[in-house]
Amino acid sequence: MASFQGRVAIVTGAAQGIGKAVASRFVADGAKVMCVDLKESVLGVAEQLGENARAIVADVADDIQVNGFVTAAFDHWQRLDVLCNNAGTDGHTAPVPDCSAPDFDYLMGVNLRSVFLGMKYAIPLMIEGGGGSIVNISSIAGLIGLPGQSLYGASKHGIIGLTRAAALEQGPFGIRVNAVCPGAVLTPLSADFMAKGGSDVAKWAAMHALRRFAEPEEIAAAVAFLASDEASFITGTAIPVDGGFTAQ
């Protein structure tokens, strides 16, 4: 089991879904966790997690706000060991000609700019403490093309590019940077995606070798492994946690 005793982590998008599961897992494994989300309900999530969790309402696409929550976590606990850049959205799901420039900018802001900003402000503080581990949440849409998900897919491919380059840059400073690429996960986001796209759970489940969606806790387990010392020689990877979706 991963241990995070004495470690400080930031998890974005922690109000629900995968981010909430990651924050819960980190606290259960001994970490102190700053939970970040645009939704005010993140305050209640941190309260439920107890004295080792705090929360900040912030927009991960906003330069000043990202600097603010990274600095706040460091100032409160005097160190920063782990960053999980998880907050994201599916945005406008349509073929390329049916997407607008504002659709593109919004999706890149929430899904990709956020990962850049989180790493930009966290890395110098991790270096101060002698190292750290960053886990960026990409997607199967970051590994393969999915029709109707061009903008989402571009943002998720971009996360893998950022992850690989940052891993090469920061390895000498003891910072590991990895990406997790989930298949379909049972969260409010996937429920919204199914509703918008007129798709159904059974059809998507059938595209996975395991014939089902993941539970958020199954993604959190992979994140906890990568963030922990158990993964001490793993960096620059993009690991599918996708029930076999991309195996074919």
Binding site for ligand NAD (CB under 6 A): 12-13, 15-19, 37-39, 59-61, 86-89, 110, 137, 139, 182, 184-185, 187-190
Helices and strands counted in the chain (H then E): 9, 7
CA angle 116, 185, 148 (to 5 degrees): 70
Task: Tell me the C-alpha distance between 34 and 4, whole Å.
Answer: 14
* Residue the block writes with tokens 């960026």: 136
- Min dist. Cβ of residue 208 to ligand NAD (A): 11
Q: How many Å apart are CA 37 and CA 189, to the nearest integer?
A: 14
In 80-196, which ranges are E strands?
A: 82-85, 132-137, 175-182
Task: Evaluate the CA torsion angle 122, 135, 16, 207 in order and state its sign.
Answer: positive
In the beta sheet, which residues pair with residue 178? 135
Supply the residues annotated as catalytic: 152
